[in-house]
Amino acid sequence: MEIKYKILLIILVVAVSGCTDLPGSSNSETSSPGANAENGGLEILSFQTAQSELREGQKTQLKLTLRNHHVEEISMESIEIYNYEPLIPEKNQGNWEDRCTPSQIRRNLQSNPPTITCEWTVEAPEEIGDFNSKTAKPKLQILYNSKVSNSQNPVNLQFKPFEDISSNSAETKEVDNGEVKLSISAENPAPIDTGSKVDVSLQNSGHGEVIEESENSLYTVNVEPKSLFDDRCNSEMDLNPPIDDTAEFSCIANSESADQVERKLLVSASYKYQKTPTTNIQVVK
């Protein structure tokens, strides 16, 4: 009887302490991952107005807040407001640097992504005609130059004589900076006498658009070491617009240059990126 009492007491203590959450038991608490400090791109934290409704002749501020997760340098080309009708933008808007603090975007160092804020003043017209209300949908064009690289995660290509290779496999590395995903696949180890094929693909992975540069190229690609590859990959390459949103190319290792046992393969791609956030303002009489 005493033993049964002790067993009952132990069960009661376990239940009260909450230790019945054993593996496999359900839990209603959920969590979603935030932006990775190294893989969040140029994040739009918010684009909003101080007042969602304006009377005729009233003014308000539009505020943009960005956070830069890029570990590579980026350069801003422009941040421009458009599609603001029937709102009237403040005269002499000036360059984006005059509207933003700070006026330069720093890199994300030591997992500490910096933020930048920009403000514009808009005014409702004195009259909106025969309408009782009109909806304005001001939009921003954020245009900047960016880069994705596997410099922090190189592909180690191993070379051996063909007769010394008993088996090999495709080694794949991926880097996603929150805007573009870079994938590199290579046969490893590779026969030193016949060279090795390296496949590279680039795909938009963010909430924006990769913009075509001059002569319809989307990416400018660098492959290192240049001496390791044939003529196609030993200089900067411009990739044309992709098929099915993926730009792809292949390189063949030059067997005459593969005289080392192992070489580190580095690929970087520069591109122009565009984001177009929007917000709503109601203009009423």
DSSP symbols for 158-222? EEE-GGG-S--EEEEEEEE-SSEEEEEEEEESEETTT--EEEEEEEE-SSSEEEP-GGG--EEEE
Q: Give the residue from 185, 165, 67 showing the smallest Cα distance to 115.
A: 67
Domain boundaries, the chain: 42-147+274-284, 148-271
Tokens (6 digits) for 141? 């064009």
Beta-ladder partners of 223: 267
Mean pLDDT of 208-218: 82
pLDDT interval class at 78 (50, 70, 90): very high
- Let me know: does 197 contact 248? Beta carbons within 8 Å: no
Q: What percent of the chain has pLDDT over 70?
A: 80
pLDDT, one tens digit per residue, over 9-21 is 333 333 433 333 3
Q: Is the pTM of this model over 0.75?
A: yes
Which pLDDT score is estimated for 213?
74
Q: Give the residue from 115, 116, 121 showing the smallest Cα distance to 100.
A: 116
Strands 190-191 and 155-160 turn out to be: parallel
pLDDT interval class at 214 (50, 70, 90): low
- Let me know: does 184 contact 150? Beta carbons within 8 Å: yes
Q: What percent of the chain has pLDDT over 90?
A: 41
DSSP 234: S
pLDDT interval class at 258 (50, 70, 90): low
Select the more confidently predicted residue: 92 or 244. Answer: 92
Interatomic CA distance for residues 245 and 202, integer angstroms? 8
Coil, strand or helix at 16: helix
Amino acid at 218: L
CA dihedral (21, 27, 29, 31) positive or negative: positive
CATH superfamily ID and name for 42-147+274-284: Immunoglobulins (2.60.40.10)
Tokens (6 digits) for 183? 């994938």
Q: Give the residue from 283, 207, 285 showing the smallest Cα distance to 49.
A: 283
pLDDT interval class at 259 (50, 70, 90): low
Which pLDDT score is estimated for 86?
92
Average pLDDT of the residues of the chain:
80
Which pLDDT score is estimated for 35?
38
